[in-house]
Amino acid sequence: METRADSSREAGGAFAPEPPVGGGASGEELGVPKVLALAAGGTIARALAAAARLGIADRLAAGPLSSGELAKRTESHPEALDALLGTLVLAGVLGREADGAYRLTEDSEVLRSDHPDSLRNTVTLIAETYDDAFRALSTTVRTGESAFPEVFGRPLYEHLAASPEEERVFDASMAELCRPVAAQLASVYDFSGVRTVVDVGGGDGTMLGRVLDAHPTLRGVCVDRPSVCERARREPHPAGDRISFEPADIFTEIPAGADRYLIKNVLHDWPMERQVRALTVIRRAMAGNAAARLLVIEPMLEAELAAPHVLAQMVICESGTRGIAEADMRRLLAAAGFTPLSVVPLTGGHQLFECAPAPAAESATG
């Protein structure tokens, strides 16, 4: 969630951000102090979100276009749009032809809505809703409490439930981020002998759908918030009637009796007490099926490189939320009554923990 940029401020002028990667003039070349460059990172973030909202990458997919033509197609102010596009050129996101027309670069291809690895909604989520929450970063730094309620008046998921467009972007972003992991899970995990899979917090069914596509004999249940399930049901799913969407409070009760329970990138959004509660609910749902297994997929946040991610979680998620390292995960699973059977590294720093209920937990009432 971190954006790095360089910028310059001439007398009466505006910030001119520099790219975090590839192309564009550097802050050092422009004689700009690094702290000013970093402070202007929000310019890049908001410009990216605006371009994503306008569908600029989709409109440039067929080839370069002038800012005037793009302004017509997006019903934008020509001068303002040209400044936005110029900002993204300096950031190395867009390119500019000799005649002044704008073109996509390798970095901006993923802003296309039809790109197989599209990040259009993820960019929008990070640069809009999440960036707004960082307005109250000082509250988190002073108190350790989430800043999100101070900015939005309620916690993240309550805000999403009351804000249909932001919830749509959030769910679409989660689908974008899960596609590479979903493809890997479908290929590396042995689903032979498995009949049913419940994806806890599975959003629009992207993750579960990829698994079902690779294993035609499987059936799946996607569990999430009521509004998420309602929206998912509106569109035909590629898995057809092999997938169903069931609204539930994952901290209270989920469908029982499945062969595999899957929970991906859900636990790290909550403090440990809530993590344990969600896993305990899953363990109870597994009772009575000795062959049932839990598949936990989470990014392992180790060492200093995890600091921006951990800070973002502290600002955006419920108070008490922290990043999860492997040692944390093992303690969490033990606290919820699970024993890890195997740990498999996946893409993007994720790890797959296959777990069974611990014997003592199986005999307990939960």
The label of the residue with tokens 């910028």 reads: 7
Smallest CA-to-CA distance from 335 within 253, 264, 267, 259 is with: 267
Strands 260-264 and 219-224: unpaired
Residue 268 known to be catalytic: yes
Q: Are 283 and 339 in contact (CB under 8 A)?
A: no
Phi and psi at residue 166, to the nearest 5°: -65, -35
Please tell me which residue in 115, 268, 309, 350 is annotated as part of the active site: 268
| Nearest in space to 17 (alpha carbons), one of 111, 85, 97, 106 | 85
Q: Per DSSP, which regions of 26-104 are E strands?
A: 94-96, 102-104
Q: How far apart are CA 250 and CA 19, in angstroms?
A: 41
User: Distances from the Cα of 255 to the Cαs of 252, 301, 325, in angstroms?
Assistant: 11, 30, 29
Instruction: Kindly list the catalytic residues.
Output: 268
